[in-house]
Structure 1
């Protein structure tokens, strides 16, 4: 909310490219952000219409290319009217993973230089998470990425991790350095590794 200027900082500064966001019109600032949230907002429109919200002037070919890159083709091809299928209020006819892939397609279509992922894979099963991680890898290529996550493997390849504890910065650094420091980040990694059988 601070990065996108939904909130203004009460102390300190938030900068993007060295520019204080408090000096930038919020609508202009939002043009530089693509966002993928855990709770996707979709409208009672077609699959194509929902993806096109990323860039309203996009051609059908551009929308379809973004959809393919977000791994949407598989589930959309099973729908009665394909990309012209109405999906219901907030995507009521779709699974959580399908809604998330439409959200990623929308972000791909927008093509903004900064991508904000807020718990984007938190509520997904393993199969859907794999599909979405593939789509995210296409979305994130060459972008500045801000990831908010409780799953430590989500940030395993980050350049920098900031660990928050009760609203304060507990530690920050590269994942490997934080593992060596053996603080809060390392403890969370160990706990999740034991329960989910993954490695950092």
Structure 2
């Protein structure tokens, strides 16, 4: 199990941060990492700026579970931790599901950086999270019902296209209600 886990980084929907400093929470990805390596991972995960703006920077303690940070900030710290680990396989388990729109663009950019030259396995309901995947697998009631690229699945009459239509409609309604 230890050997397997050395090759996998996981970013969960519900991020848990330890009651420690922000720097040490990132360092959990690779305990021997230097301060400069931690900062480089934070820059790539788009969280360096908000960390540097804190009174104690990377030495800022976070409350149990990261209670002193927003959901988007915790998510980006979790992504920095995964970047620092630099495992060849990355599992994203609903990593963008509870992100507010203000943080979504930053987190999407961080996830793109995290997945460079890696095998990425994404569990997601937000379709824009998987739109550019090499292979999308649609599961319904525990069974694979479709697989292919976004373009292939969108061209087919099926569950993926139906989901995409509903997702687009919901985004348009949200946008209309903000204007």
1:172 paired with 2:132, answer no
1:192 paired with 2:167, answer yes
TM-score where L is the length of structure 1: 0.84
Give the number of equivalent residue pairs: 172
Distance in 1 between residues matched to 2:44 and 2:135, nearest whole Å: 27
Alpha-carbon shift at residue 135 of structure 1 (Å) = 0.9
1:89 paired with 2:64, answer yes
Distance in 1 between residues matched to 2:136 and 2:107, nearest whole Å: 21
| Aligned with 2:2 (options 27, 32, 37) | 27
Aligned to 1:153: 128
Gaps of 5+ in 2: 173-179
Alpha-carbon shift at residue 136 of structure 1 (Å) = 1.0
Aligned to 1:183: 158
1:76 paired with 2:12, answer no
Aligned to 1:141: 116
Alpha-carbon shift at residue 75 of structure 1 (Å) = 1.5
For the aligned residue pairs, the C-alpha RMSD in angstroms reads: 0.9
Distance in 2 between residues matched to 1:171 and 1:50, nearest whole Å: 38
More helix by share: 2
TM-score where L is the length of structure 2: 0.93
Alpha-carbon shift at residue 139 of structure 1 (Å) = 0.7
Q: Which 4+ residue blocks in structure 1 deviate beyond 2 angstroms? A: none
Distance in 2 between residues matched to 1:77 and 1:114, nearest whole Å: 29
1:131 paired with 2:106, answer yes
